[in-house]
Structure 1
Amino acid sequence: MRYRTIGDTTVSAIGLGAMPLSIEHRPDEARAIATVHAALDAGITLIDTADSYHWHADETGHNELLIARALARYGGDTSDVLIATKGGRGRPGDGSWTVTGSPAHLKRAAEVSARRLGVDAIGLYQLHKPDPAVPWAESVGALRELLDAGVIRAAGISNVSTGQIREAHEILGDGLVSVQNRYSAAVRDGEPEVRLSARLGLAFLPWSPLGGISRSSLDGPSGQTSADTAFHHIAAEHGVSPQQVALAWLLARSPAVIPVPGASRPASVRDSARAATLRLSAEELTRLEAPGRPDASS
């Protein structure tokens, strides 16, 4: 396993996105816990969750509680595991997602999340998404209050623009340690946020980092799939999965990047963890610059 840093905390270069363990089509609890344990066995020390990762309306915090149970039942040392949770979104049970960024809601949500996780202070608490009905500075100000009160040890922001990153950094200073936006081989419009995060010393945690990579193909702009892509060719050359190549490509984009791929099976998280040791050459990285297109060298 390779390692990177979030603030002053060292974590595995690949994290576990725990959302699939609690939302629609989730596995049973035995397999979910086995997936978390497989991640820990593979050396993963970053687990990404949120209070809104649940399915039914009365299940708020399902994923946080699941992670807490999985850690409690693990036979090894978990003292170096960083649990990153999020607040500010909700799920009313009809498949939709809501946004609530009021300071009162965020402060209350963080306190409840800490109790679910069974911790005195949350290692990393992230504002899940800006609320258009609440001034950004007010939502971020709630994170400042949570830091000052010792409810959280570090703060992050998610689904944000470069302007929102700068403003949050001005308010939170060293208390802001991470940005979590969508970024993958197929969705690369987050480059400005990646570069800004690196300049400010913030970790960048891509969500949906395997977006566009299916079991056998990379989805192109047309929605069609084909295994005739650079990702699949390079995977075959290394004898690994195309998902590993996609994660290794992300790691090569910036030392600030720490992907958090989701998993709902032990085999999936083990495969993702192996991407941390996959080194891509400069020539291979050049071949990967055209997402979803046939490998020009073939």
Structure 2
Amino acid sequence: METKELGHTGVKISAIALGGMPMSLSSRPPESESIKVIHRALDLGVTLIDTADSYCKDESDKHHNEGLISKALSSYSGDKSNVLVATKGGLMRPNGSWTRNGNPDHLRETIRISFEALGGKPIDVWQYHPPDTDYTIEASLKPAKEAVEQGTIRFVGVSNFSVEQIKRARDVVEIVSVQNQYNPWNRQPEEDGVLEYCEKEQLTFLPWSPLGGSRRVGKLEDIDAIAQLAQEKSVSVYNIVLAWLRAKSPAIVPIPGASKVSSIEDSVRAVDVNLSDEEVAKINRATAS
């Protein structure tokens, strides 16, 4: 598996990561199947798994995905010394909905619970999920800074942040990654300067929902440029999209979700798919807003 540096930490991560969210929402598969997915990802060389305290059915089920990943890692018989888990805090799940909570007291507590859910070892990467306008970025990130100083968190990232917000976050604590939505239907990181900023500042950019999410992933076949390239190269349309994202910037590490072994097996194949500048431009034109 190809690797990339996480930010400018000197720590290497796989060029394709695993998104854990589909394994913990209401439509999640049996736990045994999810553990097989995680184990297969590790077998294939995936060394970054992305999760969040809010990847669950509702508030009563909070931290489900973190616990699942911890269980899968503890039962894995292979080498897991280089595996990093990146979790997030800042979203609540009342009755299965999504709401923001940047209250420093809440974030301090959820960091503690995430630490325990992930096995009581330092959280590799903790990401402040979305900025909550009820609290300043400085106040919301103070608990993360404290946790870094205490050794509970190794590295800090942010999610759904603008360039200005990233800069403010970096004034509080060192930031190694940015996780914003980026896919054929949402190319905002190209337009708002976030992707360019990450590349310039050596921050890892983690595109969430890289294949469009459950509502749009099935529509990738309808984008002729993607479908034609997939046919020409004898790969899936998902491979083409992941290869397209990787070609957009060396800062990018896609985190496709998976709830089936076949899904992560297919996603990893994207590492071997190379697109020419002309092919990338073809997809750009086909997905321009």
AA matched with 2:187: R
Give unpaired runs (5+ residues) of structure 2. Answer: none
| Cα distance in 1 for residues equivalent to 2:223 and 2:154 | 45
Mapped pair 1:285 → 2:288: no
| Cα distance in 2 for residues equivalent to 1:292 and 1:196 | 22
Judge conservation of contact 1:24–1:55 (CA < 8 Å) in 2.
Answer: yes
AA matched with 1:214: V
Per-residue CA deviation, residues 73-100 of structure 1 (Å, 9 max, x unaligned), is 11201111000001111111x2211211
| Cα distance in 1 for residues equivalent to 2:217 and 2:129 | 26
Q: Which residue of the other structure, out of 5, 8, 12, is the alignment partner of 1:10?
A: 12
Q: Which residue of the other structure, out of 217, 225, 234, is the alignment partner of 1:230?
A: 225
AA matched with 2:261: P
Q: Displacement of 1:141 after TM fit?
A: 2.3
Give the TM-score taking structure 2 as reference length. Answer: 0.94
Q: Displacement of 1:277 after TM fit?
A: 1.6
| Cα distance in 2 for residues equivalent to 1:204 and 1:57 | 28
Match of 1:62 in 2: 64
Q: Which residue of the other structure, out of 251, 257, 265, is the alignment partner of 1:256?
A: 251
Judge conservation of contact 2:19–2:49 (CA < 8 Å) in 1.
Answer: yes
Judge conservation of contact 1:17–1:47 (CA < 8 Å) in 2.
Answer: yes
| Cα distance in 2 for residues equivalent to 1:182 and 1:228 | 19
Judge conservation of contact 1:229–1:292 (CA < 8 Å) in 2.
Answer: no
Judge conservation of contact 2:130–2:159 (CA < 8 Å) in 1.
Answer: yes
Match of 1:221 in 2: none
| Cα distance in 2 for residues equivalent to 1:38 and 1:247 | 19
Structure 1 pair 138–67 and aligned structure 2 pair: CA distance change class (3 A): same
| Cα distance in 2 for residues equivalent to 1:184 and 1:274 | 18
Matches within 5 A, 1:163-174: 163-172=164-173
| Cα distance in 2 for residues equivalent to 1:200 and 1:146 | 24
Match of 2:139 in 1: 138
Match of 1:182 in 2: 181
Matches within 5 A, 1:1-298: 1-6=1-6, 7-92=9-94, 94-172=95-173, 175-191=174-190, 192-211=193-212, 214-215=217-218, 217-218=219-220, 227=222, 229-292=224-287
Q: How many residues align?
A: 282
Moved more, 106-115 or 155-164: 106-115
Judge conservation of contact 2:223–2:286 (CA < 8 Å) in 1.
Answer: no
Q: Displacement of 1:228 after TM fit?
A: 5.3
AA matched with 1:247: L
Moved more, 116-125 or 151-160: 116-125
| Cα distance in 1 for residues equivalent to 2:286 and 2:123 | 37
Q: Displacement of 1:292 after TM fit?
A: 4.5
Judge conservation of contact 2:17–2:46 (CA < 8 Å) in 1.
Answer: yes
Structure 1 pair 255–292 and aligned structure 2 pair: CA distance change class (3 A): closer
Q: Displacement of 1:199 after TM fit?
A: 1.3
Q: 1:85 is paired with a residue of what secondary structure?
A: strand
Judge conservation of contact 1:186–1:291 (CA < 8 Å) in 2.
Answer: no
| Cα distance in 2 for residues equivalent to 1:138 and 1:164 | 13
| Cα distance in 2 for residues equivalent to 1:8 and 1:178 | 13
Give the TM-score taking structure 1 as reference length. Answer: 0.91
Q: Displacement of 1:187 after TM fit?
A: 0.7
Q: 2:164 is paired with a residue of what secondary structure?
A: helix
Q: 1:289 is paired with a residue of what secondary structure?
A: helix
| Cα distance in 1 for residues equivalent to 2:166 and 2:208 | 17
AA matched with 1:77: D
Match of 1:223 in 2: none
Q: CA RMSD in A?
A: 1.4
Structure (1/2) with the larger helix percentage = 2
